[in-house]
Structure 1
Amino acid sequence: MFRRFLPKNTDFFDYLEQHSNLIIETCKELHKMSSDKPDVVASAARIKEIEQQADVITHKCTEDLLKTFITPIDRSDILALIKRMDDIIDFIFASTSRMDLYEIRELKPEAKELSAIILASAEKIHQAISGLRNMKHAAEIKEICIQIHHLEDHADGLFRNAIVNLFRQEEQPIQVIKWKEILERLEKATDRCDDVANILEKVIIEST
């Protein structure tokens, strides 16, 4: 009867690292859409596949948290990390699926810039997650989190300017609606990257 309270061999860091790899893959696929001749349909389809893989990892991690008594870091932090990381992919998927739905075949310059920021943030998240196994990397992780915050600040300014330009320059109301939806979801992805950095900072404070 006490078996369910015994430590499990679940590697939660492995779940986080697997998921961060999928974030990188998603962001690279998104960034492909910034090329001169992007295949938006193919990239959107690939991102949908990755999003489904990420959901499986998130579900497994959540299930194992319920079954495991001892975790390497606070279970609430593991849950928050995997959920916010999954949100990054979800918002990118929400954006690219709309590009496909609205038959958009070329990204606006602001969307390209946001995709570059998201990719840079994803690479830093992957670097930070990979360092969680050993708290000797605490100072490095903290510095990475600061860099992610700076990227999110830049994305906020870029998003505001993008919306202003959209309403000033776009003559077709339907295009305003379409692009506002797309840009909002890309910006939300940068917000979730910032959330991940906040959680990582909390983990570092509690573990050192």
Structure 2
Amino acid sequence: MLFGKLLPREGNFFELFNQHGEHIVEGARAFIGMIEHYGDAVERERYAEAVISAEKKADKVTAEVNRLLHKTFITPLDREQIHGLINAMDDVLDLLQDTTETMSLYDVRRMTEETLRLGQLSARCCERVRDVVALLPRISEPSAVEAAMKTCEEIDHLESDADRVMRSAMSKLFREEPDVRELIKLKAIYEMLESITDRCEDVANLIEGIVLENS
């Protein structure tokens, strides 16, 4: 009995999930700021650095979660669920950073309305990810279960909206963009932005599974 009492229990996994969720939103909002101020080189760089900073902070949270998994005897969720969820969340910010860096590497000269629209949908998805993660400590409560499932459904709808915007953006791009190099650049950016909403949907799917198994 003494051995069991001395073993680490629970940990602060939920708090770490919340911290990561806040970093995701921080990175998403900085990304939107970069798009909105893209014509100003100084502001563009400032917002780009903010995206990278958020990603680095989130990486530290991910590392702490994985460290805790090795030290904690009893966890509040299944170990595979914790590992899968934090890595899925990390994928969201990794892709935000990748998109930010790709814009710079490709020397993208201008932002289109479609880029802004896809970025906005991605940011809204990121906010919903943060919101649904915050509900995990209360998934034994019917009201929290209902709220979590509703938020996951909202993420699914946003991902579908992003699909539609990307298809329309691609159609317009191939019909109207005369510069082949710019076409290639924007096509890559559109695809990466749409993929951010896909990664958010991955998080939502994992949380749906956690809620159904633990509620």
Q: CA RMSD in A?
A: 1.8
Which of 153, 164, 177 lines up with 2:171 in the alignment? 164
Q: Give a deviation string over 1:65-101, Cα, whole Å, max 9, x none.
A: 1222211111111111111111111111111111122
Quote the residue 1:57 is aligned against: 61
Partners of 2:190 and 2:169 in 1: how far apart?
8
Task: Measure how far apart 1:34 and its partner are.
Answer: 3.8
1:180 aligns with 2:187: yes
> What SS does structure 2 have at the residue aligned with 1:30?
helix
> What SS does structure 1 have at the residue aligned with 2:136?
coil
Q: Quick one: structure 1 residues 94 and 46, their matched pair in 2 at CA, closer, same or farther if it must change by over 3 Å?
A: same
Partners of 2:201 and 2:56 in 1: how far apart?
23
Partners of 1:84 and 1:157 in 2: how far apart?
23
Partners of 1:131 and 1:169 in 2: how far apart?
45
Unaligned runs of 5+ in 2: none
Report which stretch shifted further, 24-33 or 40-49.
Answer: 40-49
Matches within 5 A, 1:104-123: 104-123=108-127
The residue type paired with residue 33 of structure 1 is M
Matches within 5 A, 1:8-157: 8=9, 10-35=11-36, 39-135=43-139, 136=141, 137-157=144-164
The residue type paired with residue 130 of structure 1 is A
Is the 1:114–1:155 Cα contact (8 Å) retained in structure 2?
yes
Identity over aligned pairs, percent: 34
Unaligned runs of 5+ in 1: none
> What SS does structure 2 have at the residue aligned with 1:73?
coil
Is the 2:122–2:196 Cα contact (8 Å) retained in structure 1?
yes
